[in-house]
Amino acid sequence: MKRKSVVIGAVIAMVTIASVYFFTRPALLGNMAHNYTEQTTQNAKFSFAGEANERIKFSFKSKVESGNLDMVLYDSQGNIVYTLDKAKSLEAFYTLKASGTYALEAICNNFTGKYEVKVFEAN
């Protein structure tokens, strides 16, 4: 009987931990990933809605074999508001200045390699 109580307690603890994670995890605003085996010059982007003073998190991984890769965030007027540092792997944060639609663009110039970027709410 004592063993059954321990098992029930463990199950309740696991369900509680999973529930807390599920309800508090950061919301994914968007992502993109590409793998180029031949040199390419093109851009890819996605958009997301943001609120003034909202903090966002970038999770970025890349393997640049040749060429250039720039990750640039634009506001709803098309102004560059943030550029991710070039790195193999990074997590960076940015606080949005105004409400509106933001776009994250991957700018590839004679690029060979791969990248993956995810944007989350970080408030």
Positive or negative, the CA dihedral 20, 22, 27, 28 is: positive
In a domain, 63, yes or no: yes
Residue 120's CB is within 10 A of a number of other CB atoms, namely: 19
Digit-by-digit pLDDT tens for the chain (123 residues) are 667 776 677 667 676 665 555 555 578 899 999 999 999 999 999 999 999 999 999 999 999 999 999 999 999 999 999 999 888 899 999 999 999 999 999 999 999 999 999 999 987
pLDDT at residue 86, as a whole number = 84
pLDDT at residue 56, as a whole number = 96
pLDDT at residue 104, as a whole number = 97
pLDDT at residue 52, as a whole number = 95
In a domain, 15, yes or no: no
pLDDT at residue 60, as a whole number = 95
Does this model's pTM top 0.75?
yes
DSSP letters spanning 10-60: HHHHHHHHHHHHHHHSPPEEEEEEEEEEEEEEEEEEEEEEE-TT-EEEEEE
In a domain, 7, yes or no: no
Please give the backbone phi and psi of residue 17, each rounded to the nearest 5 degrees, phi first: -60, -45
In which domain, by residue range, is 42 found? 27-121
Residue 55's CB is within 10 A of a number of other CB atoms, namely: 14
Instruction: Indicate which CATH number applies to the domain containing 80.
Output: 2.60.120.380
How many Å apart are CA 67 and CA 110, to the nearest integer?
5
pLDDT at residue 1, as a whole number = 60
In a domain, 88, yes or no: yes
